[in-house]
Structure 1
Amino acid sequence: MTEQTPETGPVVQLRLVVEADDYEQAVTFYRDVLGLREQEAFEAEGEGAKVTILHAGYATVEIANPAQRRMIDELEVGHPTTPRLRVAFEVLDAEERTQRLVDAGASLVAPPTETPWQSLNSRLDAPGGLHITLFQEHLSREERAQLEGFGTGDD
Protein backbone atom coordinates (compact mmCIF):
# COMPACT_ATOMS: atom_id res chain seq x y z
CA MET A 1 0.00 0.00 0.00
CA THR A 2 1.33 3.44 -0.97
CA GLU A 3 1.26 6.02 1.78
CA GLN A 4 1.07 9.79 1.82
CA THR A 5 4.40 11.56 2.21
CA PRO A 6 5.25 15.27 2.50
CA GLU A 7 6.30 15.12 -1.18
CA THR A 8 3.10 13.54 -2.48
CA GLY A 9 0.44 15.00 -0.21
CA PRO A 10 -2.84 13.11 -0.09
CA VAL A 11 -2.63 12.04 -3.78
CA VAL A 12 0.19 9.56 -4.33
CA GLN A 13 -0.33 8.48 -7.95
CA LEU A 14 -1.88 9.75 -11.17
CA ARG A 15 -3.14 7.01 -13.46
CA LEU A 16 -4.31 7.94 -16.96
CA VAL A 17 -6.56 5.18 -18.32
CA VAL A 18 -6.66 4.90 -22.12
CA GLU A 19 -9.09 2.59 -23.93
CA ALA A 20 -7.37 1.44 -27.11
CA ASP A 21 -9.23 -0.48 -29.80
CA ASP A 22 -5.92 -2.01 -30.92
CA TYR A 23 -4.62 -2.94 -27.48
CA GLU A 24 -1.47 -4.76 -28.66
CA GLN A 25 -0.45 -1.87 -30.93
CA ALA A 26 -0.96 0.65 -28.12
CA VAL A 27 1.03 -1.41 -25.60
CA THR A 28 3.87 -1.86 -28.09
CA PHE A 29 3.84 1.86 -28.95
CA TYR A 30 3.86 3.21 -25.39
CA ARG A 31 5.96 0.47 -23.75
CA ASP A 32 8.44 -0.58 -26.44
CA VAL A 33 8.75 2.55 -28.58
CA LEU A 34 8.09 5.48 -26.23
CA GLY A 35 9.86 3.57 -23.47
CA LEU A 36 7.41 3.49 -20.56
CA ARG A 37 8.38 0.64 -18.22
CA GLU A 38 5.77 -2.09 -17.69
CA GLN A 39 4.74 -2.11 -14.05
CA GLU A 40 1.92 -4.67 -14.10
CA ALA A 41 -0.28 -6.49 -16.59
CA PHE A 42 -3.52 -8.37 -16.00
CA GLU A 43 -5.82 -10.50 -18.12
CA ALA A 44 -9.24 -11.77 -17.07
CA GLU A 45 -9.33 -15.49 -17.81
CA GLY A 46 -11.92 -16.27 -20.45
CA GLU A 47 -13.10 -12.65 -20.61
CA GLY A 48 -10.66 -11.23 -23.15
CA ALA A 49 -10.19 -8.24 -20.82
CA LYS A 50 -6.59 -6.97 -20.66
CA VAL A 51 -4.78 -4.08 -19.01
CA THR A 52 -1.13 -3.10 -18.91
CA ILE A 53 0.00 -0.48 -16.40
CA LEU A 54 3.04 1.45 -17.57
CA HIS A 55 5.26 3.46 -15.27
CA ALA A 56 5.61 7.00 -16.58
CA GLY A 57 7.90 8.48 -13.94
CA TYR A 58 6.99 11.70 -12.22
CA ALA A 59 3.42 12.85 -12.98
CA THR A 60 1.87 16.30 -12.88
CA VAL A 61 -1.53 17.66 -13.83
CA GLU A 62 -1.31 20.86 -15.84
CA ILE A 63 -4.41 23.05 -15.69
CA ALA A 64 -4.51 25.69 -18.43
CA ASN A 65 -7.11 28.27 -19.34
CA PRO A 66 -8.24 28.55 -23.01
CA ALA A 67 -5.87 31.47 -23.71
CA GLN A 68 -2.88 29.44 -22.49
CA ARG A 69 -3.90 26.43 -24.60
CA ARG A 70 -4.21 28.65 -27.69
CA MET A 71 -0.82 30.27 -27.01
CA ILE A 72 0.91 26.86 -26.62
CA ASP A 73 -0.76 25.55 -29.79
CA GLU A 74 0.43 28.63 -31.69
CA LEU A 75 4.02 28.29 -30.41
CA GLU A 76 4.33 24.52 -30.87
CA VAL A 77 2.17 23.87 -33.93
CA GLY A 78 1.33 27.21 -35.55
CA HIS A 79 -2.45 26.82 -35.31
CA PRO A 80 -5.12 25.55 -32.90
CA THR A 81 -4.98 21.76 -32.64
CA THR A 82 -5.25 20.51 -29.09
CA PRO A 83 -8.35 18.77 -27.85
CA ARG A 84 -9.32 19.38 -24.22
CA LEU A 85 -6.87 16.68 -23.13
CA ARG A 86 -3.24 16.42 -24.21
CA VAL A 87 -0.66 14.11 -22.63
CA ALA A 88 2.92 15.40 -22.41
CA PHE A 89 5.98 13.21 -21.89
CA GLU A 90 9.37 14.63 -20.92
CA VAL A 91 12.08 12.79 -22.85
CA LEU A 92 15.86 13.10 -23.02
CA ASP A 93 16.05 13.46 -26.83
CA ALA A 94 12.90 14.93 -28.39
CA GLU A 95 14.11 14.69 -31.98
CA GLU A 96 15.14 11.03 -31.78
CA ARG A 97 12.09 9.94 -29.77
CA THR A 98 9.70 11.85 -32.06
CA GLN A 99 11.12 10.04 -35.09
CA ARG A 100 10.85 6.65 -33.33
CA LEU A 101 7.17 7.31 -32.57
CA VAL A 102 6.43 8.40 -36.14
CA ASP A 103 8.19 5.28 -37.42
CA ALA A 104 5.95 3.24 -35.09
CA GLY A 105 2.76 4.74 -36.47
CA ALA A 106 2.14 8.06 -34.71
CA SER A 107 1.02 10.95 -36.92
CA LEU A 108 3.34 13.94 -36.72
CA VAL A 109 1.37 17.11 -36.00
CA ALA A 110 4.40 19.38 -35.50
CA PRO A 111 8.14 18.60 -35.50
CA PRO A 112 10.37 19.39 -32.52
CA THR A 113 10.24 23.15 -32.06
CA GLU A 114 12.27 25.34 -29.68
CA THR A 115 9.96 27.19 -27.28
CA PRO A 116 10.51 30.56 -25.56
CA TRP A 117 10.93 28.67 -22.26
CA GLN A 118 13.90 26.75 -23.67
CA SER A 119 12.38 23.34 -24.30
CA LEU A 120 12.17 21.35 -27.51
CA ASN A 121 8.56 20.24 -28.07
CA SER A 122 6.89 18.09 -30.72
CA ARG A 123 3.25 17.11 -31.21
CA LEU A 124 1.84 13.79 -32.34
CA ASP A 125 -1.43 11.91 -32.62
CA ALA A 126 -0.77 8.54 -31.02
CA PRO A 127 -2.54 5.18 -30.51
CA GLY A 128 -5.51 5.17 -28.19
CA GLY A 129 -6.68 8.50 -29.59
CA LEU A 130 -4.18 10.52 -27.56
CA HIS A 131 -2.81 13.85 -28.71
CA ILE A 132 0.67 13.98 -27.18
CA THR A 133 3.56 16.35 -26.69
CA LEU A 134 7.14 15.18 -26.30
CA PHE A 135 9.31 17.77 -24.59
CA GLN A 136 12.99 18.00 -23.81
CA GLU A 137 13.97 20.57 -21.20
CA HIS A 138 17.13 22.60 -21.85
CA LEU A 139 16.94 24.49 -18.54
CA SER A 140 16.47 23.27 -15.00
CA ARG A 141 13.30 24.19 -13.10
CA GLU A 142 15.36 26.73 -11.13
CA GLU A 143 16.76 28.31 -14.32
CA ARG A 144 13.25 28.54 -15.86
CA ALA A 145 11.93 30.21 -12.71
CA GLN A 146 14.31 33.11 -13.43
CA LEU A 147 12.77 33.78 -16.87
CA GLU A 148 10.24 36.56 -17.38
CA GLY A 149 6.69 35.32 -16.77
CA PHE A 150 7.74 32.17 -14.90
CA GLY A 151 7.42 31.25 -11.27
CA THR A 152 4.72 29.87 -9.07
CA GLY A 153 1.41 31.15 -7.72
CA ASP A 154 3.33 31.77 -4.49
CA ASP A 155 5.70 34.27 -6.16
Structure 2
Amino acid sequence: MTAPKDDRPPTVRQLRLVVEADDYEAAVVFFRDVLGLPEQAAYSGDDDARVVILEAGRATLELANPAQKRMIDEVEVGRQVAPRLRVAFEVDDSRAVTERLVAAGATEVAPPTVTPWHSLNARLDAPAGLHVTVFQELRTPEGRATLDGFGTGS
Protein backbone atom coordinates (compact mmCIF):
# COMPACT_ATOMS: atom_id res chain seq x y z
CA MET A 1 0.00 0.00 0.00
CA THR A 2 1.42 3.39 -0.94
CA ALA A 3 0.47 6.74 0.43
CA PRO A 4 -1.71 8.91 -1.79
CA LYS A 5 0.18 11.66 -3.56
CA ASP A 6 -0.79 15.20 -2.76
CA ASP A 7 0.79 18.63 -2.72
CA ARG A 8 0.14 19.39 0.93
CA PRO A 9 3.16 20.51 2.92
CA PRO A 10 4.25 18.26 5.78
CA THR A 11 2.40 19.06 9.00
CA VAL A 12 4.98 17.60 11.39
CA ARG A 13 7.92 19.91 12.11
CA GLN A 14 9.90 17.78 14.55
CA LEU A 15 10.09 14.28 15.97
CA ARG A 16 10.93 14.35 19.68
CA LEU A 17 11.55 11.16 21.60
CA VAL A 18 10.91 11.73 25.31
CA VAL A 19 12.75 9.36 27.65
CA GLU A 20 12.42 9.16 31.44
CA ALA A 21 15.91 8.73 32.89
CA ASP A 22 16.18 7.52 36.49
CA ASP A 23 19.81 8.70 36.58
CA TYR A 24 19.22 12.01 34.80
CA GLU A 25 22.75 13.37 35.32
CA ALA A 26 24.43 10.25 33.90
CA ALA A 27 22.09 10.23 30.91
CA VAL A 28 22.79 13.91 30.16
CA VAL A 29 26.55 13.37 30.34
CA PHE A 30 26.32 10.26 28.14
CA PHE A 31 24.11 11.65 25.38
CA ARG A 32 25.18 15.32 25.43
CA ASP A 33 28.84 15.18 26.37
CA VAL A 34 29.98 11.75 25.15
CA LEU A 35 27.74 11.05 22.14
CA GLY A 36 27.84 14.76 21.29
CA LEU A 37 24.18 15.73 20.93
CA PRO A 38 24.10 19.55 21.24
CA GLU A 39 21.89 21.01 23.94
CA GLN A 40 19.00 22.97 22.45
CA ALA A 41 17.24 23.90 25.69
CA ALA A 42 16.95 22.91 29.33
CA TYR A 43 14.17 23.59 31.79
CA SER A 44 13.63 23.05 35.49
CA GLY A 45 10.61 23.25 37.74
CA ASP A 46 9.30 22.52 41.18
CA ASP A 47 10.34 19.37 43.06
CA ASP A 48 13.64 19.13 41.12
CA ALA A 49 11.82 18.56 37.80
CA ARG A 50 14.38 18.81 34.97
CA VAL A 51 14.51 18.20 31.25
CA VAL A 52 17.12 18.79 28.59
CA ILE A 53 16.33 18.83 24.88
CA LEU A 54 19.20 17.57 22.75
CA GLU A 55 19.50 18.02 19.01
CA ALA A 56 20.02 14.82 17.09
CA GLY A 57 20.25 16.08 13.53
CA ARG A 58 17.52 14.98 11.18
CA ALA A 59 14.79 12.81 12.69
CA THR A 60 13.05 9.94 10.97
CA LEU A 61 10.49 7.40 12.13
CA GLU A 62 11.44 3.90 11.06
CA LEU A 63 8.51 1.50 11.03
CA ALA A 64 9.38 -2.18 10.68
CA ASN A 65 7.16 -5.22 10.70
CA PRO A 66 8.08 -8.04 13.14
CA ALA A 67 9.93 -10.03 10.45
CA GLN A 68 12.13 -7.02 9.58
CA LYS A 69 12.86 -6.33 13.26
CA ARG A 70 13.92 -9.96 13.74
CA MET A 71 16.09 -9.82 10.61
CA ILE A 72 17.83 -6.60 11.74
CA ASP A 73 18.58 -8.14 15.15
CA GLU A 74 19.93 -11.27 13.48
CA VAL A 75 22.20 -9.29 11.10
CA GLU A 76 23.48 -6.78 13.65
CA VAL A 77 23.67 -8.95 16.77
CA GLY A 78 23.15 -12.60 15.81
CA ARG A 79 20.15 -13.04 18.11
CA GLN A 80 16.94 -11.31 19.19
CA VAL A 81 17.81 -8.53 21.65
CA ALA A 82 16.04 -5.30 20.79
CA PRO A 83 12.96 -4.27 22.69
CA ARG A 84 10.04 -2.86 20.77
CA LEU A 85 11.74 0.55 20.59
CA ARG A 86 15.36 1.10 19.57
CA VAL A 87 17.05 4.46 19.02
CA ALA A 88 19.49 4.74 16.11
CA PHE A 89 22.06 7.51 15.65
CA GLU A 90 23.88 8.09 12.38
CA VAL A 91 27.52 8.92 13.04
CA ASP A 92 30.63 9.50 10.94
CA ASP A 93 32.71 6.71 12.54
CA SER A 94 30.84 3.80 14.15
CA ARG A 95 33.95 2.20 15.57
CA ALA A 96 35.26 5.33 17.30
CA VAL A 97 31.82 6.31 18.64
CA THR A 98 31.21 2.79 19.95
CA GLU A 99 34.55 2.84 21.80
CA ARG A 100 33.71 6.26 23.29
CA LEU A 101 30.25 5.17 24.41
CA VAL A 102 31.51 1.96 25.99
CA ALA A 103 34.20 3.93 27.84
CA ALA A 104 31.40 6.18 29.14
CA GLY A 105 29.39 3.28 30.53
CA ALA A 106 27.36 1.80 27.67
CA THR A 107 27.32 -1.98 27.32
CA GLU A 108 28.32 -3.21 23.88
CA VAL A 109 25.74 -5.72 22.71
CA ALA A 110 27.36 -6.21 19.29
CA PRO A 111 30.46 -4.61 17.74
CA PRO A 112 30.33 -2.58 14.52
CA THR A 113 29.11 -4.94 11.81
CA VAL A 114 28.72 -4.36 8.08
CA THR A 115 25.07 -4.93 7.18
CA PRO A 116 23.43 -6.05 3.94
CA TRP A 117 22.05 -2.50 3.63
CA HIS A 118 25.63 -1.18 3.43
CA SER A 119 26.07 0.49 6.78
CA LEU A 120 28.37 -0.20 9.71
CA ASN A 121 26.12 -0.76 12.73
CA ALA A 122 26.91 -1.35 16.41
CA ARG A 123 24.44 -2.13 19.19
CA LEU A 124 24.65 -0.85 22.75
CA ASP A 125 22.62 -0.68 25.91
CA ALA A 126 22.85 2.95 27.02
CA PRO A 127 21.78 5.01 30.03
CA ALA A 128 18.07 5.69 30.56
CA GLY A 129 17.33 2.10 29.55
CA LEU A 130 17.77 2.79 25.84
CA HIS A 131 18.84 0.10 23.39
CA VAL A 132 20.72 1.99 20.68
CA THR A 133 22.30 1.50 17.31
CA VAL A 134 25.09 3.73 16.07
CA PHE A 135 25.42 3.46 12.32
CA GLN A 136 27.74 4.77 9.65
CA GLU A 137 26.46 4.83 6.08
CA LEU A 138 28.92 3.18 3.69
CA ARG A 139 27.07 4.16 0.50
CA THR A 140 25.28 7.27 -0.64
CA PRO A 141 21.48 7.12 -0.86
CA GLU A 142 21.83 7.30 -4.66
CA GLY A 143 24.27 4.38 -4.72
CA ARG A 144 22.09 2.32 -2.43
CA ALA A 145 18.93 2.98 -4.50
CA THR A 146 20.45 1.05 -7.43
CA LEU A 147 20.75 -2.16 -5.38
CA ASP A 148 18.16 -4.95 -5.30
CA GLY A 149 15.69 -4.58 -2.44
CA PHE A 150 16.29 -0.87 -1.95
CA GLY A 151 13.94 1.90 -2.94
CA THR A 152 10.94 3.73 -1.65
CA GLY A 153 7.36 2.67 -1.10
CA SER A 154 6.13 5.19 -3.64
Same fold (TM over 0.5): yes
Identify unmatched segments of 5+ residues in structure 1. Answer: 1-5
Deviations along 1:51-82, whole A, 9 cap, x unmatched?
00000010000000000001000100000111
Deviations 1:18-56 (A, max 9, x none): 100100000000000001000000111x42000000000
Following superposition of structure 1 onto structure 2, how do residues 32-47 of structure 1 map, counting pairs within 5 Å?
A: 32-44=33-45, 46-47=46-47
Q: Does 1:106 find its partner at 2:102? A: no
Report the alpha carbon displacement of residue 116 of structure 1 after superposing the two structures with TM. Answer: 1.2
Deviation at 1:7, TM superposition (A): 10
RMSD: 1.3
Give the distance between the partners of 1:24 and 1:92, measured in 2 at CA: 26
CA distance in 2, matches of 1:128, 1:33: 14
Partner in structure 2 of residue 55 of structure 1: 55
Q: Deviations over 1:90-121 (max 9, x none)?
A: 00000000010000000100000001121100
Counterpart of 2:67 in structure 1 is 67
- Aligned length in residues: 148
Ranked by relative contact order (alpha carbons within 8 Å, sequence separation 6 or more), the top structure is 2
d(CA) in 1 for partners of 2:73 and 2:47? Answer: 41
**Take 2:8 and 2:132, find their aligned partners in 1: how far apart are those partners?**
27
Provide the secondary structure at the position in 1 that maps to 2:142.
Answer: helix
Letter in 2 for 1:63: L
Structure 2 length normalisation: TM-score? 0.93
In structure 2, the residue matched to 1:134 is: 134
Gap regions ≥5 residues in structure 2: 1-6
Query: In 2 relative to 1, CA 40–7 (structure 1 residues): closer, same or farther, beyond 3 Å?
Result: farther
Partner Cα separation in structure 1 for residue 128 and residue 143 of structure 2: 35
Calculate percent identity across the aligned residue pairs. 65
Q: Which residue of 1 aligns with 2:97?
A: 97
